Amino acid sequence: MTSLFVVRIAGVFALLAVVSQFAAVGIALASGIQPGAPLNFSDGAQLLAAADANPGVLGLVFATISPSLGLPLGIALYVVLKDAKGYAMFGAMMFYVGQTIALVHEVLRIALFWRMPGLYQRATMVRGGEIIDGAHRIARAHIEGRETIAAAVLEEYPKPDGELAEGEVAPAADGSDQDA
């Protein structure tokens, strides 16, 4: 196996990695997801797109395998720079460390993307029907003509955060002592 052959094979895999990434971006855009942008949990359209994982599975597969397809580049990097001996080995190792981090990051991002929206899609209500949180989700469902929406129903109101005992004074917003 010649050095030129190894470099050519690595080049083909690099091209496949780029094509895979562009395919993932195209599928995400077609599914209503804006790649690279933070997920806005107050945007119902983004949450619905994220919750419906079926159209995005192929795009997520492409996004995940894209860094893997680039792995032969590390071998080509070493082959091209092998005259530098230790530096070439170090460069190839650092390439693989970076690719591993990119792959783990992509897998974690996908797992979070699929799990998080469901937590934010529900309206929160008390058993009597009073809405504690998520009225905008109910309004959006009404506008979109949906008859049902996921809701977390509580038996009673939760205890408020930061409740003060009788005679206790709340700290000042700037952190200074109010009694001074």
Highest-confidence segment of 34-43, 101-110, 123-132: 101-110
pLDDT tens digits, 121-154 = 566 667 676 776 777 777 777 777 878 777 777 7
Q: What angle do CA 112, 114, 117 make, to 5 degrees?
A: 90
Tally the C-alpha atoms within 13 A of residue 105's C-alpha that lie toward its C-beta. Answer: 8
Expressed in angstroms, the distance from the first to the final Cα of the chain is 81
Give residue limits of the domains in the chain. Answer: 3-120, 123-154
- Average confidence (pLDDT) over 53-57: 63
Q: What is the pLDDT confidence band of residue 19, given thresholds at 50, 70 and 90?
A: very high
**177 pLDDT more than 70:** no
Which residue type, as a one-letter code, is found at position 134? Answer: G
- Tokens 């000042």 belong to 172
- Whole-number pLDDT of residue 176: 58
- Whole-number pLDDT of residue 16: 92
**88 pLDDT more than 80:** yes
- Average confidence (pLDDT) over 45-65: 68
- Whole-number pLDDT of residue 12: 92
| Runs of H (alpha helix) within 31-85 | 44-51, 57-69, 72-81
State the pTM of this model: 0.52
